[in-house]
Structure formats: C-alpha cells, structure tokens
C-alpha cells in the first residue's frame, strides 16, 4: 500500500505491507493515509476492539499522534454533559454516543483526530462526524448512507478504513530502526476482572471496575509513561509520554479538571453568537477555564458572546472541584512514590489500578488508606512505544 508520506511530508517515500495478503487486517476504502494516520488507525482499532470484548459495550477512541486523547464506552449522558457537549443524546445511537464521549474527553486535543469505533458506523455517527474536524476513521463496517457522508467529508480527502473484526495478529511483532530489526512478543495480555483481584485496600464498585478496565486497556495503547483518569465510562484525562510518572499524574489531572469545569454553571452559561464555529466555542471555553486572560483575549471572547462573561475565579474553581468524587486512576507502570497518590486525591480519585512492585509499595498503600482510596495491584506492566 502506498502511503501519502512518512512521519513528515518531506519523507516522501512510505509504504505499508500486509504480512499475509490472504488475510489483511484492514482495507482502505477511501483516501490515502500517511504513516501516522495508519499508526493511529492500527493502535486505536486494537484498543476499541479489546474494550468491546472486555466490557461488552460499544467503544470509541479519538487518537492523536499515536496516543488516545479520549476513550469511552456508550454510557448515558446527563443534562449537564449534553449541554457541555452540545448534543441531544436522544438522537445518538450507541456508536455515536461512544464517540461523542471519547472526543469530548479533550476536544481541544481531538482537533484533527483519527477516529476508531468498535461498531459498524451508522448514519447518526457519520452525521456527527461531518460536524467536527477529523482526519479519518477505522471501524469494522459502514452503513451505505454513512459511507456516503464520510467519503464527502474534507472535500473527499477523509480517510475511511475498514478493519477485519476476526483478524488475529501474529504472536510476534517487529520494526526496523537505524539499520536494526527489533522483534518482540506481542503484548497479547487480555485485560479483565482477573487484573483487579489483588485488592490491597478498600473495595471496588461495579462502575469503578468498569472504569479501571477501560483505563487499563486505554493505557495499553498510550505512549509511556502514561496515567489516565476515568469517570462514568469515559477517560476524562490522559497524561502520556512523560519521563516522570508524577508529571503524568499532574498532566492527566489538569486535563480531568478542565473536563470537570466545562460543566461549571458559569462555563455552561457562556452564550456564543450563532456564527461562532464549534471549535472556536470549545477553545474559548477551555481558555476561559484556564483563566488569566489578557485584555485582548477578554475583548475577543466578549465579542463572540451575546452577553459579556464575568471571570471564573480560582476560588470558584476550587469550590466546584472539591465536590468531585468517585474518579478512577490507572497507571501503566508501578507508582513509585506517594506524591502520585496525593496529587490524584486532589482530583477526586477514589479508585486506583497499578502494577505494584515498587520498593515503596507500603508507603503508597498507606497513603491510599489514609485518603480513603481503594487500590488494586494488577501485576502487569503496560508500557507502549
């Protein structure tokens, strides 16, 4: 398969070869993917396929640069989330609902994403996709009308890939780098309830169990080091590719706080003029939450609103976030120090799944007990590069 280009446009030559032409894992139905597009497609498809198998729920992922900016399953939206996401959930099918949740984890980062769905794409999902900026999609199938909508997207440049849901990958995988071929066993560990059996403290609710499994599968396909915050069947903050685990915890927590604050009454009360584009509304809401707006930003924001916006103070944000509870946290490697636990607790975390095995496991467990956090040791590391 000839690709559009490699990692960057100046890397003109790029191809993808099927190992067994008799059983290709995917087929490009429309468009020409770049190398990164294809990496996103292959990683994201494995993710949503595994979530569907583990939880039995329609799953979706929004991928950017070989890591998910959002992952979710199809769980109902309440009125506040419908308002924050600007959707009417009564018009959403399970596949559409899963993707809306996945994209709305971090909609600023999902701008220009690659979409993955565990379900065949229906027209409702395709119509939602027509409204947002995305590069392409991978799914196990497409309804005829849905395919027509997608092929027309981006003036015909939208990439549509169909995955073979029955394809089983080889037990080993390899890649070449700087004149060397690297070969390893594929990470074929199937994440499930057995990974949460070693409960070191506290107890898990059914919802927390679902969220921890969802998060662990998400991190299996996220660039390491990685930490994820999960709530209500949706990743609400993913910190990826950091050298320090506590930096992952802080980054993911900051994203989770923005997700929570998008539901603050003052944020929901921002009424934009009808001609303001959706992505501009998203970006300005996030900027409003971040605060410390320069004078020109205040003037630009107010020019887009029907009514001027009053500031969202730091004390108002702290008061709102202090009520958050029941969040789950997952880590792809062991948590080495208790500072990760202290940071996690600040973001409403009450459930944790991590490999365990650090020299300071006792200190980490003691911190969880003191802060009322339930923690399971999975005994499985999920590094991904």
d(CA 216, CA 194): 12
Active site residue 64: yes
* One-character DSSP codes across 185-222: E------SGGGG-EEEES---HHHHHHHHHHHHHHHTS
DSSP state of 244: S
How is residue 41 written in tokens? 């497609």
d(CA 166, CA 369): 44
Active site residue 379: no
Active site residue 264: no
- Residue 140, preceding bond cis, omega within 30 degrees? no
CA of residue 168 relative to chain centroid, distance: 24
Active site residue 307: no
Q: What angle do CA 1, 70, 186 make, to 5 degrees?
A: 50
Choice among 37, 43, 225, 340 that is catalytic:
225
How is residue 82 written in tokens? 């419908």
If you search the block for the tokens 């994209």, which residue do you land on?
A: 103
CA-closest candidate to residue 245, choices 345, 352, 341: 341
Choice among 64, 220, 250, 255 that is catalytic:
64
Residues taking part in catalysis: 64-65, 225, 385
């Amino acid at each position: 398969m000839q690709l559009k280009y490699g990692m960057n446009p100046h890397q003109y030559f790029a191809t993808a070869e099927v190992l067994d032409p008799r059983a290709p894992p995917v087929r490009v139905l429309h468009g020409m993917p770049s190398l990164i597009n294809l990496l996103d497609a292959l990683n994201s498809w494995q993710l949503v396929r595994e979530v569907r198998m583990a939880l039995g729920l329609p799953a979706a992922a929004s991928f950017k640069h070989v890591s998910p900016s959002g992952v979710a399953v199809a769980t109902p939206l309440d009125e506040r989330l419908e308002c924050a996401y600007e959707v009417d959930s009564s018009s959403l099918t399970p596949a559409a609902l899963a993707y809306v949740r996945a994209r709305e984890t971090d909609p600023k980062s999902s701008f220009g994403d690659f979409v993955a769905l565990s379900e065949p794409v229906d027209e409702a999902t395709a119509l939602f996709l027509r409204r947002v900026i995305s590069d392409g999609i991978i799914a196990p199938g497409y309804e005829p009308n849905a395919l027509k909508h997608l092929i027309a997207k981006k003036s015909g440049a939208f990439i549509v890939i169909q995955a073979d849901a029955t394809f089983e990958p080889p037990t080993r995988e390899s890649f070449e780098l700087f004149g060397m071929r690297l070969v390893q066993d594929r990470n074929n560990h199937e994440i499930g309830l057995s990974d949460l059996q070693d409960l070191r403290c506290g107890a898990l609710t059914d919802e927390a169990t679902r969220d921890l499994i969802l998060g662990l599968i998400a991190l299996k396909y996220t660039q390491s080091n990685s930490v994820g915050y999960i709530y209500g069947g949706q990743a609400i903050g993913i910190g990826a590719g950091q050298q320090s685990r506590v930096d992952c915890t802080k980054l993911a927590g900051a994203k989770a706080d923005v997700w929570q604050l998008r539901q603050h009454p003052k944020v929901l009360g921002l009424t934009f003029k009808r001609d303001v584009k959706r992505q501009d509304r998203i970006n300005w809401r996030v900027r409003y939450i971040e605060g410390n707006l320069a004078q020109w930003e205040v003037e630009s924001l107010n020019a887009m609103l029907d009514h001027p916006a009053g500031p969202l103070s730091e004390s108002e944000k702290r008061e709102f976030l202090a009520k958050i509870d029941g969040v789950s946290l997952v880590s792809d490697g062991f948590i080495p120090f208790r500072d990760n636990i202290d940071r996690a607790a600040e973001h409403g975390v009450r459930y944790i799944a991590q490999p365990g095995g650090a020299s300071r496991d006792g200190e980490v467990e003691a911190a969880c007990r003191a802060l009322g956090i339930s923690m399971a040791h999975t005994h499985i590391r999920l590094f991904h590069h």
